[in-house]
Structure 1
Amino acid sequence: MTQTQPDVSFIVAAYNAAGTLAKAIDSALAQRGVSVEVIVADDCSTDETRAIAASYADRNVKLLALARNGGPAAARNEALSAATGRWLAVLDSDDTVEPDRLRRMIGRAEKAGAQIAVDNLRVIRADGTPPETMFTEQSLAETPELTLPVFIRSNALFQTTHNFGYLKPIFQHAFIERHGLRFNEALKVGEDYLFLASVMALGGRCVIEPIPGYDYQIREGSISRVLALHHIDAMIEGDKSFLRDYTLDAEAAAAQEFRERSLRRGRAFLILVQNIKDRSISGAIKTAWSNPSAVAHLRMPIAIRIHRALAPLRQLISPRTDLTAIDGVTRSRKG
């Protein structure tokens, strides 16, 4: 009997996800109007993650047991290579999707002849506060297609604009394979941004479905809850590789420069915070003097505790410095 190609392959990178994986898989299998397969790439978990995934073997769920821990990008690449669906959908192991999500997204993408589709996120916090959507449905309805310049600019670090990088896209599998695209395994934060940017830089069109269909869980302990200096360094190197591989038009290049400045400021900010923690006044002054805009990031919640300690240093910075683009409203992005 000939096996029918599924409409969707769900790509699930999992690491010690025993507490949430079954719920994620169940939501993927509950999709209406499309056929699905679920591929779980276990990144050397030490809990019952593999056993849970294996228990679904008779329901079109495939377990890939990775030989070494390589991070979310490596796990996703393994799953991507094993996928057979017409469309690829990334699903984090602690998130869920609504039953009609893929039917809506694929329908919108195929009607437009697009190779990518994203939809609204429903943000669910572990503290039990009421869920909220990342964007209003009206704002997304007024933006039927996401362009590369807008996507890059929205992914500037610590900016006020909503970040399209948090959205969970689906990709036309044939387009991904035709161009040999894979996630950048050097990144532990931001690999999903770079992957989508690469697809768009190759001419992939991205439509937007305004109805929220992805439930994004914010929990303590995800990789990106705390942004470290080496994460930003890796993102800077990832962007350099991106620019070597793709030629951007003027608008996208300007957006890329905007993002690069934000990464440099963010890097200086983390160094500044470490200087203060180390009680290195000379180091803090040197960092602030070389990149005054980094001081503005002290308005973020992560730095409130050291705000008073830095008050004398802030007086060294010109009040005329243009810092209006930074407000410290951040959400965690899971790897």
Structure 2
Amino acid sequence: MSASSAAWSVSARFANTACLLHSKEASVQPDVSFVIAAYNAAATLDRAIVSAIAQRDVSVEIIVVDDQSRDNTLDVARAYPEDVVKVIALPANRGPGGARNAGVELASGRWVAVLDSDDAVLPGRLAAMIARAEKAGAVIAVDNLQVIREDGVAEATMFPAEYLEGLREITLADYIAGNIVFESTFNLGYLKPIFQRRFLTENGLRYDENLSIGEDYLLLANALAKGGKCVVEPTTGYIYHIRTGSISRVLELHHVEAMRKADAVFAETNSMDAAAAAAFARRARSLRKAASFLSLVQHIKARSPLKAIRTALSDPAAVRHMSMPIAVRLRRVAAQFAVGTGR
């Protein structure tokens, strides 16, 4: 068993003891509110909750928002004492952004930390992040992520440690430049920030419920645009579990179109300095190319050669995103189309 996997082999006795300790602090404002949006997460929710309970040197409240799950996710969440895990059962499915917003509305901690229901956090994560943020006078903090494959094997961390150590802080320009679709060396959209709750409230910051991919990016981008200072804790504290079929790993055309609309609103409602504006223009171009590329693939899969050719001709740059096998397939489809029409 890997070291990271062993960290989650927490006994029920330990979890119950931790529950009792935290319940004694119920009358005091918690340092951190964990918001866990859960949809059909019965198989992994315990791991996420127990890791939140196990945080050292900070007091926590845990809020699980069940987004109309069809399995027994709600039963798993309600198995914990109410003063340890607060449970919200949404009357209708609101998607990841909506579920998180419901949790943030209920949160009472000084800081808000979003934890995905199939992930986990290391015991010292929040204490380290809060200490670094408060020392720097920041309202946002991020750290590194450990990637765990479905078979439990730990891969490399999401970001090289020296890369994060060199950043120290993340500006709006840095963040947008780290979210160029298909082009960014390190996709900063995977970061799992913690936010000072008062800053979120004072600036009316919430997740965009129209996005099912990219809602994390947009919230942090808006927070940075509102003047939020974001510091980097270079150590690894978040455990990111790869899961086949996870919505965050399947980019489709409608996701990209929704992101383009959200970015247009972002540009209308926020001011950007020259560096951020330049990065934003690059991101806009990358989203346009991504939309063309995904449209091209969609036409190929649907055996619509004429539409595929029109898309390729209207945006040749989209073809450069294609791997060689698909590019070869496109040429073959085009050739078949020409033969079929007598050209």
Rg (Cα) greater in structure: 2
CA distance in 2, matches of 1:43, 1:58: 18
CA distance in 2, matches of 1:127, 1:61: 29
One-letter amino acid of the counterpart of residue 237, structure 1: K
Contact 2:35 2:113 in 1 (8 A): yes
How far does the alpha carbon of each residue in 1:20-62 deviate from its partner, in whole angstroms, 9 at most, with x for none?
0011000001000000001001000111111111111245210
The correspondence for 2:220, drawn from 196, 201, 226, is 196
Shift of 1:313: 8.2
Report what 2:115 is aligned to.
91
The worse-fitting range, judged by mean Cα deviation, of 119-128 and 265-274 is 119-128
CA distance in 2, matches of 1:243, 1:124: 36
Shift of 1:225: 2.5
Shift of 1:65: 0.5
The correspondence for 1:77, drawn from 101, 104, 108, is 101
Report what 2:164 is aligned to.
140
- 2:281 aligned with 1:296: no
One-letter amino acid of the counterpart of residue 193, structure 1: Y
Shift of 1:221: 2.1
The correspondence for 2:52, drawn from 11, 14, 28, is 28
How far does the alpha carbon of each residue in 1:42-100 deviate from its partner, in whole angstroms, 9 at most, with x for none?
00011111111111124521000000001000000000000000000010000000000
- 2:208 aligned with 1:184: yes
Contact 1:285 1:313 in 2 (8 A): no
CA distance in 2, matches of 1:277, 1:148: 37
Report what 2:326 is aligned to.
306
Report what 2:21 is aligned to.
none
Shift of 1:311: 3.9
Write out aligned runs for 1:97-176 (5 A).
Answer: 97-176=121-200
Report what 1:251 is aligned to.
275
Report what 2:66 is aligned to.
42
Partner SS state of residue 167, structure 2:
coil
CA distance in 1, matches of 2:99, 2:312: 39
Contact 1:109 1:116 in 2 (8 A): yes
Instruction: Label 1:313 to 1:207 Cα distance change in 2 as closer, same or farther (>3 A).
Output: farther
Q: Structure 2 regions of 5+ residues with no counterpart?
A: 1-24, 336-343
Contact 2:305 2:334 in 1 (8 A): no
CA distance in 2, matches of 1:240, 1:160: 20
**Same amino acid, percent of matched pairs:** 54
Report what 2:92 is aligned to.
68
Shift of 1:180: 1.4
Report what 1:272 is aligned to.
296
The correspondence for 2:261, drawn from 237, 246, 252, is 237
Q: How many residues align?
A: 311
Partner SS state of residue 34, structure 2:
strand
- 2:76 aligned with 1:52: yes
CA distance in 1, matches of 2:294, 2:104: 34
Instruction: Label 1:123 to 1:2 Cα distance change in 2 as closer, same or farther (>3 A).
Output: closer
CA distance in 2, matches of 1:54, 1:93: 15
Report what 2:229 is aligned to.
205
One-letter amino acid of the counterpart of residue 125, structure 1: R
CA distance in 2, matches of 1:132, 1:112: 28
One-letter amino acid of the counterpart of residue 89, structure 1: A
The correspondence for 2:246, drawn from 178, 200, 222, is 222
Shift of 1:275: 1.8
TM-score, normalised to structure 1, is: 0.89
CA distance in 2, matches of 1:313, 1:44: 43
Report what 1:326 is aligned to.
none
Contact 2:260 2:284 in 1 (8 A): yes
Shift of 1:3: 1.2
CA distance in 1, matches of 2:252, 2:103: 27
Instruction: Label 1:140 to 1:203 Cα distance change in 2 as closer, same or farther (>3 A).
Output: same
One-letter amino acid of the counterpart of residue 114, structure 2: V
Shift of 1:160: 4.1
